[in-house]
Structure 1
Amino acid sequence: MSAHEDPRFQQAVDLFNRRAWYEAHDAFEEIWHETAGSDRRLLQGILQIAVAHVHLERGNLRGATILLGEGVGRLSSAKSGDLGLDLPFVREQARLRLEALQRETDPVALPVPELRDHS
């Protein structure tokens, strides 16, 4: 069974999209520990984007910058449809927030990363 077929996967996506970052991280991490292959790298990228937002909420801009960079990097080869999601979309949203942090500007006005179904 692939990661996105796991019954816990949609719950993790829903938590991410509700901006329940810490809970989304925990949910994706459970699946990540049980996953091998290319799905594992993609799940790790999503996890890192979620944790970056935990850091943002706590005012840890350095931690947020590092984890957004790692998450974007892990999703760099993702194609639309991987994990049943539009991963290039979430990667681009995270990249824009990363660039704002790197410029030392507040990313609050930018769209928050969202996991959309691949259509």
Structure 2
Amino acid sequence: MTGTSETRRAGGRDRDAEGRARNARPRDGLGRPLPYGADGVERAPEGVVRRPEATVAEAQALLDAGRPFHAHEVFEDAWKAGPAEERGLWRGLAQLAVGLTHAARGNVTGGTRLLRRGAEEVEEWTSATGRPRPYDLDLADITGWARELAAVVERDAEPLDAARESPRLRGRPT
């Protein structure tokens, strides 16, 4: 089997050292599984506990590189490992990254639904906590971006360039 040294095949399924299911197949830049042995892009390691600032920086770099699926995995780590009161924020950001992934793959329905769902989740979290800029995240800009992009995806119904359409998590440069 090819894959990471931390993953092994057991009973026809990829498993990590603790026996949890982990897909070790290589993936393309949009997270689509490739055949074992194919050259894929480097994957973001799963289950990494990062400081929130490192989560945002790593996710932004992946988004800028046109790899929103991989950014989703970084946000998912924060969602699963972070404090309970922040899970809605990280889950919403993960949904936005997956929405961008689906839109880039040409999945109009999945892209628009997840972009809108993620925007709602982030907005609900902001309203509930009164924190519009945690970790210097520009949540109003992010939710506006997601809603605008969902409308474009729905209207144009064709794959988009994930790198060109990626959000600026800390606001647009001036």
**TM-score category (smaller protein):** 0.7 to 0.9
With over 3 angstroms needed to count, the CA separation of the structure-2 counterparts of 1:90 and 1:9, relative to structure 1, is closer
Query: Per-residue deviation at 1:100?
Result: 3.0
The yes-or-no answer on 1:12 pairing with 2:66 is no
Query: Does 2:150 correspond to 1:98?
Result: yes
Q: How many matched pairs?
A: 114
Instruction: Find the aligned partners of 1:71 and 1:3 in 2 and give their Cα distance.
Output: 22
Q: Does 1:35 align with 2:82?
A: yes
**Cα deviation 1:64-118 (Å, max 9, x = unaligned):** 011011101101142432233111111111111123344x33595x95422116x
Alignment partners' CA distance in 1, 2:51 and 2:79: 8
Q: Deviations over 1:18-38 (max 9, x none)?
A: 332011111111121112333
Q: Which amino acid in 2 is paired with 1:105?
A: D
TM-score when scaled to structure 1? 0.77
Q: CA RMSD in A?
A: 2.7
Give the alignment of 1:1-119 within 5 angstroms.
4-5=52-53, 7-77=54-124, 78=126, 79-102=131-154, 104-105=155-156, 112-116=166-170
- For 2:99 and 2:145, the matched residues in 1 are separated by 13
Q: C-alpha separation between the residues in 1 aligned to 2:63 and 2:150?
A: 18
Q: 1:3 to 1:32 in 2, by over 3 A?
A: farther
- TM-score, length basis structure 2: 0.55
Q: Can you give the 5+ residue segments of structure 1 that lack an aligned partner in the other structure?
A: none
Q: Deviations over 1:2-57 (max 9, x none)?
A: 9525x444212322343320111111111211123332111111111111111111
Residue of structure 1 equivalent to 2:17: none
**Identity value in percent:** 27
Change in 2 beyond 3 A, CA 1:43/1:100: same
SS state of the match for residue 48, structure 1?
helix
Between Structure 1 and Structure 2, the one with more helix by share is 1
Structure with higher RCO (Cα < 8 A, 6+ apart): 1
